Amino acid sequence: MIHPLACVHPGAKIHETAVIGPFAYIEDNVEIGPRTEVMANASVMWGARIGADCKVFPSAVVGAIPQDLKFKGEETLAIIGDRTVIRECATVHRGTASKGKTVVGNDCLIMAYCHVAHDCILHDHIIMSNAVQLAGEVEVDDYAILGGGSLVHQFTHLGAHIMLQGGTKVTKDVPPFCIAAREPMQYCGINSVGLNRRGFTKEQIGAIQDTYRILYSPLYNVSQALERIEQDLPVSPERDLILNFVKNSPRGIVRGAL
């Protein structure tokens, strides 16, 4: 299943059911899983690990060395999970000594011209629309949707089930279930459409709304709001996910609407 015009290093480990297209470039120390397709002119470079049933479209690059002046050639990885799609001209760089790996999880869609920088950790079911740019060491949780052309500052954390408006400049952490939009970026409510599509109940969505109603109330600062949430709202997985995210946010969270 390797096209005779592909350039494949003999040290690469390619599953017998994988498909490698013409002019694809596969370096040494690469692993490509079952039924994965690497299309024409795509490059899979040293340290890449690609799971099963993935598609790497033309001119995409997985595993190039990081754009980080501190990188000294250390042995690091770029790991792609199962059933993930990497579209044309997208780039996923491998890690540095900081984390040792860049990770893109299962069932993700990385659209054309996106960039995933060194040491980013992307969990599962994430959609990055065209030309989203992630700087180094960004973490993105499950089911996040990043609108086209969004720019994400290094070390930021994007919570589960969020929605970023296209073109958003992300400089603060975005807690779970939020919509973040406008310039400068603001909290613009919860992602109720996405939550409904994913089977959240009315009670769960209500608990999320109640939590954010307090968190972004003009009556409290963040510390006061967290105390009120713990005192006034019943324990739930959704409430606690938000609380833990905000408490563990060293950069601070996106501000509320003025």
Active site residues: 118-119, 136
Q: For residue 238, which of 214, 190, 205, 199 has the smallest C-alpha distance?
A: 205
Rounded Cα distance between 122 and 126, Å, is 7
The DSSP letter of residue 66 is: P
How do 178-181 and 186-190 pair as beta strands? antiparallel
How do 7-8 and 186-190 pair as beta strands? unpaired
Q: Which two tokens stand for residue 204?
A: 């769960």
Q: How many Cα atoms sit within 13 Å of 40 on the Cβ side?
A: 2
Contacts 24+ apart (CB under 8 A), 186-193: 186/254, 186/255, 186/256, 186/257, 186/258, 187/212, 187/216, 187/254, 187/255, 187/256, 187/257, 188/257, 191/145, 191/161, 191/162, 191/163
Q: Which two tokens stand for residue 130?
A: 């065209």
